[in-house]
Amino acid sequence: MRQTSSLLWLRYVLLTIAALMFAFPFYFMVVGAFQENPTNTPDQLVPQSGWTTQNFTNIDSRIDLAGSLVNSLVFTAGVLLGTVVFGLLAGYAMGRLDFRGRGVTWVLMLLVQMVPFQLLMIPLYVQITSSYGLGDTYLGMILPFAINTTAVFIFTQFFRALPREMFEAARIDGASELRILRSIAVPLVRPAIATVVLVTFIGPWNEFLWPFLITKDSSMQPLAVSLANYISNVAQSTSNANGAILAGATALAFPVVILFCLFQRYFTASDLGAAVKG
């Protein structure tokens, strides 16, 4: 560390304050989920009593937690697969290749981001259920999210940032674009894949409106939909509505946070500079 010590301290103070601000509402949520009667007065921030797991037992008795979890995983896995495979291809083309229609594709990518989903929802619903007959299927659920445009953006930016010499050299050696993609681009792109997986993952995992519309069969509903159902239903007929809501929120957040904790080392160790120089 060649930092001056005052700067280092500033860094830690800044990070710690920010981290506390970020983590606090989450702490509040988890603690409240295990409380008989969550309150929001400052002197009860660290509750001494009133612990209960009743809120979670209630959820489990009302919805099929395991089944919805599987639905969520299938939905999410489908979107991830489509995004990583086709998004990587598109991102490489956009970032590294010169081809007719690249400018148009770029504009399209921006446009896709700009148009609010609410505007397209009903035409899309009619198209997918009525024209393709995909209501109550995983494919119908996945289709509108199959290739995450933000992920294509990230891949594109990433490939653009790679030094061009690496690619030029391979081209001069006569390697085909597919081979360059496989042997140079994909190995280098790993940190970006981790980012893309994370960014893409939360979309389908947390998405409520679309799977809600497309699934009428409750055995097909992902966790976000059944929990939202549970929350709206239980909140009007329980004496511990806050506890129920916070427990539902925690149940939805928990798997993601676990996965992230497992995954997160992939964001640190990517010493790309060394890879490029080597």
Partner 1 sequence: MRSIRIAALTGALALVVAGCSSGGGDDDSGDEGAAPSGTGPIEIWLSNNEQELAWGQAVVDAWNAEHPDEQVTAQEIPAGASSEEAITAAITAGTAPCLVYNIATAAVSGWVRQGGLVDLAQFDGGAAYITDRGGDAAEAYQTDGGYYQLPWKSNPVMVMYNKALFEQAGLDPEDPGMATYDDFLAGARQIVDSGTSQSAIWPSPTNEFYQPWFDFYPLYLAETGGTQLVEDGAATFDDENGLAVAEFWATIYSEGLAPQEASTDDAMSTGTTAMQLAGPWAIASYSESVDVGFMPVPTSSGEEDVYTFADSKNVSMFTSCENQATAWEFLQFSTSEERDGQLLELTGQMPLRLDLAATYPDYFSANPAYEVFAGQAERAVDVPSVPNSVEAWQAFRDEYSSAVIFGSIGVDEFLANAATTIDGLVAE
Partner 2 sequence: MTSSSIALRTPRRNWWGAQPIGSLFALPYLVFVAVIFAYPLGFAVYIAFHDYFFTAPGVEVPKPFVGFDNFVTALTDPQVLESFRNTAVFLVINVPLTVVLGLVLATALDAGVRWASAYRIAFFVPYLTASVSLVGVWMLLFSSGGLVNAVLGPLAPDPSWLVNPALAMPTIALYVTWKQLGFYILLYLAALQNVPRELHESAETDGANGWQRFLNVTVPGVRATTTLVLILAIITGANLFTEPYLLTNGGGPDGASVTPVLLIYQRGIQQQNPDVAAAIGMILVIVVGLLSLIANRVNRET
Q: Report the site for partner 1 in 13-52 (rule: CB under 8 A).
A: 37, 40
Minimum gap (Å) between residue 236 Cβ and partner 1: 7
Q: Could you say which of 63, 90, 141, 214 contacts partner 2 (CB under 8 A)?
A: 90
Q: Could you say which of 52, 129, 137, 149 contacts partner 1 (CB under 8 A)?
A: 129
State the sign of the Cα–Cα–Cα–Cα dihedral 193, 200, 155, 180.
positive
Residue 190, helix vs strand vs coil: helix
In this structure, what is the dihedral angle of CA atoms 157, 161, 165, 171, given to the nearest 10 degrees?
-10
Residue 122, helix vs strand vs coil: helix
**Count of residues engaged in binding partner 1, rule: CB under 8 A:** 26
User: What backbone phi and psi angles, to 5 degrees, belong to 51?
Assistant: -70, 145
Residue 36 binds which entry of partner 2, partner 1, none, with Cβ cut-offs from 5 to 8 Å by kind? Answer: none
Q: Per rule CB under 8 A, is residue 5 in the interface with partner 2?
A: no
Residue 247 binds which entry of partner 1, partner 2, none, with Cβ cut-offs from 5 to 8 Å by kind? Answer: none
Nearer to partner 1, 11 or 216 (CB): 216
Judged by CB under 8 A, the chain residues 160 through 189 that form the site for partner 2 are 160-161, 163-164, 177-178, 181
Residue 93 binds which entry of partner 1, partner 2, none, with Cβ cut-offs from 5 to 8 Å by kind? Answer: partner 2
Nearer to partner 1, 54 or 242 (CB): 242
Q: Could you say which of 29, 74, 134, 175 contacts partner 2 (CB under 8 A)?
A: 29
Q: How far apart (Å, rounded) are the C-alpha atoms in residues 208 and 206?
A: 6
Q: Per rule CB under 8 A, is residue 32 in the interface with partner 2?
A: yes
Nearer to partner 2, 27 or 51 (CB): 27
Q: Which of 45, 6, 10, 4 is nearest to 25 (CA)?
A: 45
Judged by CB under 8 A, the chain residues 68 through 127 that form the site for partner 1 are 121-122, 125-126
CA angle 193/199/200 to nearest 5° reads 85
Runs of H (alpha helix) within the chain: 5-33, 54-62, 65-96, 102-114, 117-125, 138-142, 149-161, 164-172, 177-180, 186-188, 190-206, 209-214, 223-234, 241-263, 272-277
Q: How far apart (Å, rounded) are the C-alpha atoms in residues 239 and 72?
A: 29
State the residues that interact with partner 1 by CB under 8 A.
Answer: 37, 40, 62, 121-122, 125-126, 129-130, 135, 212-213, 216-218, 228-229, 232-233, 235-239, 241-242
